[in-house]
Each structure stands twice: as C-alpha cells, then as structure tokens.
Structure 1
Amino acid sequence: MRISTQSFFEQSQSAMGSQQLQLFRTQQKIATGRNFLTPSDDPVGAARALNVSQALAESSQYAASRSQAMALLTREEDALKGAATILQNVKQLTVQAGNGTLSDADRASLATTIQSSLDQLVSLANTDDGNGQFLFAGYKSGSAPFALQAGGGYQYVGDQGQRLMQVDVARQMPATDDGRSVFQSVQGSAGYVASAAAANTGTGVFGPARVTDATAAGYGKDFSISFAGGNYTVSTQDTPPAVVASGAFSAGTPISFGGLQISITGAPADGDVFDVSTARNAGTDIFAAIGELVGALNKPLTGGGADAQAELLNALSTANVKLTNAHDNVLTIRSSVGSRMNELDALNAGGAARQLMDKSYLSEIEDLDYYAALSEFTQRQTALQAAQQTFASLGGIALFKYL
C-alpha cells in the first residue's frame, strides 16, 4: 500500500505529539508528587480522595471544638476548685465561731473574714472565659450572672441554658454549667436542714436531723415543730398542715416523726417553732446562707442572755448544714467537669488515630509512586526519542538518492 508523503508526516507528527504529551504529564506528576492531576485522570480515585479530604476537614473541626471545650472546662474547673476551697474554709470558721469562749469582737472578726470569702466566692461565680463571656451565665453569657441587689444579697440574672459543643460525630458536650445549678442548688441526696424561727424567744437548741427510716410515711415532706404548754407538736408544712406527732417535751430526748429524729436541748418557749425541711426547700442559695451567717456573727451576745446564745448556736448549725450541702454540690459538679475533660482526652486520642488513618489512606490514593513514575518517564522519553529518530530517518528517504 502506497503512503503519501503528507500522510506520513501527519501520522508521525501525531505520534510524536502524543508521546510528548504523555511525557509532559508524567513529568508534571513527578514535579507535583500527585498520582493524578485532574479528576479525569482517575475518576474513582478522585471521588475517594474527596471523601477522605472531607472526613479530614470534619475531624479538624471536631478537634478545634474539643480544644475550645477543653479550655472552657479547664477555666470552670479552676473556678470550682477555688469555690470548694472557700466553702471548706467558711465551714471551718463556722465551727470555730461556735466556741463559747469567743467574745463579740472575735465573732465580728470572723464575720469580716467570712464576708471577704463571700466576696471571693461571688467573684468566682462571675468568672469569664477570657473573651468576655461569663462561664456560669448560661445562654446570657454577655453579662455577669450574679448581681448585687439594692437590699443586699445576690440575684442570679442568667438562665439555665447549657452551651453545647459538637465535639465528635455523635457527641454534643456541655462546655459550661449554669450558675443556679452550681451555687443555688443541692444534690438530690442532700438530707434535711433544721432551722429556728427568727421570732423564737426560748433557749431551745436543736441537734442534727437524722434519718431513721427512709421508707416511713411522710418521709420527704417538710415539717415544723411547735411548742406550747411544755408539749411539742410536729406538723407537715402542707396546706392545710397535718399533725404527724406530739407529746410532752423533754430536753435532749429525741423527737421522732416521718422517718426522722431530732433532739432539742434547752427550754423552748411557748410559740417557738423549729423547721425541719428538705435541703431543696430550706434555701439553696449559698450566698444568702453565708450572708445570714455573717449577720448572726455580727449580732452581739453581751447582755443578750441564754436565748441570744441559743439563737447563735441554731444559726451556726443551720449554716453548717447548708455549707456542707453547697460544698458537696460544687464537688459533684467539679467531678462532672473532670469526667468531661477525661472524655475529651479520649476523643482527642481517637480523633488523632482516625486522622492518621485517613491521611495514610489519602496518601495511598493521591501520592505518587516515584519509582514507578521515574520508570515510566524513562520509558516514554526513550519511546519519544525513538519516534523522532525514526521520523528523521524515514523522512530523508528519497528515490533521487539512488539515481
């Protein structure tokens, strides 16, 4: 078959162009270190690489969220640690204040120290995250959660929202706790709190309320013990109240009711009332409890008689129980914070392992096998040179050379 000179030149040019293009693409792969330059080079590989890249981007976002959550929880843990220390110190000062040898000046000095501790506690409750967002304010994190009221005391002006952060594919974690749950709540396991009415005039002093039978009828209700004519009457604080126990009062003899038992010493006056309430109904605001304690310690006993001494001892007993409940609550929440921090550590370890696997898989898909690529480059270079030499040789053939 006769091949025209034009056809020969066109076919040779096309072949050498194809060889040059393949050589150029191989050279680009070597230069970039990528197995394919465009999705059309390997559609399946490109699709897999895109999926893995998206997974890596999500993992990076989760890691950033975990880092932010860890920073917030670390800040909260520091605040709770400080709050627990303050409450423990105030408890010790409360016990010290019960020493009968202290003078009014001594108790006033303790009151000043406790007031300073209260100020420190409020400052911790209004801790921010370093960026102007308050940790214990819930969703209202732009303003301090606890505000001093004109009449004294502190009001919680935040809400009970929890700032959730997506720290993993199927895990949303609260990065903060609201101030009401931390500083104005007690645990469900907190026991009863006894207190004396402010209008009491006798010398009755109550002991701790003890649980004798948690299955007894009426257990879990709030009770009041009233005195008249040398007798006591125990009633529920329901509306209307129901009498659950009564009898002749004997100082120091335990009074039993509703699965509870409490002893009262001294001589309660007619009309005196002692409340025995569940912790959640006895006043859970630790700022208010410490404020009342400061007020009781600042009240002079000199010239007040035995009733004033009884009033102080009852106030100290109530404050001690409330401080214990608040301290336990803070420790429980601090334990929860620690558990979340441990979970973040575990999620970080798992996330790092997944990222390493994804990066390795992505490398297998995208990264170039240099040994194979260099071998291919050499082969294509040799093929191009052979095609060029063949074209040059055949292009020089002419009949006139042989005439």
Structure 2
Amino acid sequence: MRISTAQMFNQNVSSLNRSQTQTSKLMDQLSSGKQVNTAGDDPVAAIGIDNLNQQNSLIQQFQKNIDYANKHLSLAESQLGDAESLSMSIRDRMLAAVNGTYTADERQGFADELRSSLAELQAIANSQDESGNYLFAGAKSDTQPFAFDNSGNMVYSGDSGVRTALVAAGIAMPTNIAGDAAFMKAPNAMGDFSVNYSAAQTGEFSVNSTTISDPASYVPGDYSFSFIDNGSGGLDVQVFDSASSLVTTINNFDPTNPISFNGIDVSVDGSPNAGDSFSIAPQDSVSIFDTVQQTIDLFENGDEINTPAGKAQLAQLLNNFDSGVDQIRIGRSQAGTSLSSLDSYSDNHADTKLVNSSALSVLQDLDYASAVTEYQKQQLATNAVSSLFSKVGSVSLFDYL
C-alpha cells in the first residue's frame, strides 16, 4: 500500500499532537494533584464532584449557624444559671424574715439586701452579648428589656420573638430565650387570680387557690369576700363584685369546700373570724421582679408581716416566687436542650463531611505513582514518534541514485 508524502506527514503530526495533548493533561494532573480538572476529563465523575462540593459548602454554612447559635445560647444559659443561684439566695432571705422576733430595723436590713439582689437580678436580665445586643429582649435585641416604672412595677420592653438559625436542611433552631418567658410569665401559684388580704384580718387563714372552674359560666371581674356571723355559731360568706353589688351568699362556710360562684372556685385554708375579708383580681401570671418588690414593701411596712394578713401575703409571695424560679429553670432547660441538639447536628455534619471528603478523594484525587509512570511512558512514546518522524522525513530517493 502506497502512502503519499503528505499522508505520512499528517499522520506523524497528528500522532505528535495526540501525544503532546496527553502529556499536557498528565502534567496538569500532576501539578493539581487531581485526576479530574475539567468536566471533559470524566463527565460522570465531574457531576459527582460538583454535587459533593455543593453539599460541603452547605454543611460549612450550617456549621457557622450552629457556632452562632451555640455562642448565644451558651451565654443565655450561663446568665439564667446565675439568675437561678441568685434567686435561691433571695428565697433564703424571704424565709428568714418569717421569724417574728426580728425588729423593724432587722427587717429593714433584709429589705435592703433584697433590693440589692433585685438590682442584680435586673442586671442579669439586661445582659448583653459581645456586640451589645440584649440577650433577653426577644427579637428587639437593640432595646433594653427590663426597667421599673414610677410605681415600682417591672416593665418589659422586649417582645416574645425567638430568633432562629438554619442548622440543617429544613431545621431551624432557636438562638435566644425571650425575657418575658423567662422572667415575666410565671404561672400564678394561686391559679387565675391574685389575692389581697385586709389589714384588719384577725383570723388565721389564707387562700390556697383561685381558679376558673367553669369557663362557660365565668363572669370576669374583681371580687371581694366578707365573713359574717350567721348567728348559729358559724360563718356565712358574702361575695361582692367590683361595684360592691352582692353576687352570692355562701351559708355555713366550710373551709373543706371551695367558695363557688360565677364559674370560679376559691379555696380557703384556716379559720377566718367574723369581720375578716379579702379580695381577688384576675391574674394568671406573675413576674419574679414584682414578687420580690412586693416582698420588700411588706418588710418595710412596719409590723404588718407579723399580722395574720401579712403572714398570708408572705405565703402567697413565697409560692409565686417559687413559680418564678421554676420559670427561670424552664428557660435554662430550654437553652440546654437546644445546645444538646446543636451538638448532635454538628456531629452529624462532621460525619457527613468526612464521608463526602472520602468520596471526593475517590473521584478526584490523583494516583501519583500511576500518573508518573504514565507520564514517563508518554514521554518515551513522544520521543520515539518524534525520532522516527525525523528519520523517515529525511529519506530521499535521490540518496540512492
């Protein structure tokens, strides 16, 4: 078979170009350490590599979000732990003041200690992070959440917003604990109403619970109760509404049975005397700040704490204070639970990233030994083709004539 000079040259040039292209590809692989540098190197592997890289980028963003949530929740959990410890100290002072042997000056000392602790508790509730954002202001992180008004009542200027961070596909975790939930909305230990005792009380009694027993027949409003002698050695209870209109009369009062009216049950413990009275007002939640402030007021109000009304009021304040401490514990528990979940998501992401990295290594990492051997073979082939072409190209018929 005859081959023209042009064909011979074209075939040799094409062979050299193929050899040089393959050599260049091997050099790119050796310099990058990857066997797939472009989609043309291996289209199927390139798709897999792109998907794995996208997954790893998403995991990296999730990890950043987890770090952010972890930092803020850890700070909130720490501050709530401090608030809980401080609350235990406050409770000890409240219990100590129950001792009727203390003088007015000694009770004033307790009040001063409580006022200092209350300021410290407020400072904890107004804690800020490293950026100056308030931890317990809800979504209004640039607003100081807690302050007392002119009447001595705590006012919450934050909101109930809970900020979230995306920590996994379709999973958003809270990054804060709202201040109203942690400090302001503890369940009223009495039930659905607060109780106000009369300073003229002489009987040793207190109200155990005030609940809305029948919402269908419940009539909202403030109510007052008066115990009167029924002339038969017992007591009747008269119930009045806020307009001082008689609502009902409970004959032959029995403390083992609740006072029931207008869908409300009021349970009384102890032995009231004729002429004693008390009132209730709707209140289903209490603030630990207001509870401490009311205790301070009670301590500073002369010998009232040693009266039957004072003792009953202090018992109510202690129960509400315990409810407030429980609310702080709940907030701390929520932060701890979220932190535990964040650790689990972080571990899962780390495992997934490790699996992805292994898969990426299989798809794109270069086997240097094989690549170097192939490169040397390719170089040898290129040199052989080049040498042969130069020799064949120099052959001329005139050399043999």
- Please give the secondary structure, in 2, of the residue aligned with 1:197: strand
| Structure 1: runs of 5+ lacking an equivalent | none
Equivalent residues in 2 for 1:2-401 (5 A)? Answer: 2-187=2-187, 192=191, 196-197=195-196, 199-207=198-206, 209=208, 226-230=225-229, 231-233=235-237, 235=239, 246-248=250-252, 254=256, 256-257=258-259, 261-265=267-271, 267=273, 269=275, 272-275=277-280, 281=283, 283-301=285-303, 309-401=307-399
Q: 1:351 to 1:369 in 2, by over 3 A?
A: same
Find the aligned partners of 1:361 and 1:133 in 2 and give their Cα distance: 42
Change (3 A) 1:358 1:264: same
Question: In 2, distance between residues paired with 1:324 and 1:70?
Answer: 29
Distance 1:234 1:396, change over 3 A: farther
Q: Gaps spanning 5+ residues in structure 2: where?
A: 230-234
Query: CA distance change for structure 1 residues 198 and 207 in 2, over 3 Å: closer, same or farther?
Result: closer
Contact residue 187 and residue 284 of structure 2 kept, 8 A = no
TM-score (norm 2): 0.86
Counterpart of 2:383 in structure 1: which amino acid? Answer: Q
Task: Using the aligned pairs only, state the percent identity.
Answer: 25
TM-score (norm 1): 0.86
Contact 1:107 1:298 in 2 (8 A): yes
AA of the residue aligned to 1:118? L
1-side partners of 2:240 and 2:395: how far apart? 122
The separation in 1 between residues aligned to 2:193 and 2:157, in whole angstroms, is 29
Residue type of the partner of 2:366?
L
Count of equivalent residues: 392
Instruction: Say if 1:206 and 1:263, in contact at 8 Å, map to a contact too.
Output: yes
1:316 Cα offset (Å): 1.2
| Aligned equivalents of 1:169, 1:240: Cα separation in 2 | 61
Q: Contact (CA 8 Å) 2:147, 2:155: kept in 1 or not?
A: yes
Q: Report the aligned-residue RMSD.
A: 3.3
- Give me the whole-angstrom Cα distance separating, in 2, the residues matched to 1:117 and 1:367: 63
C-alpha displacement of 1:371? 3.0
- Indicate the residue corresponding to 2:232 in structure 1: none
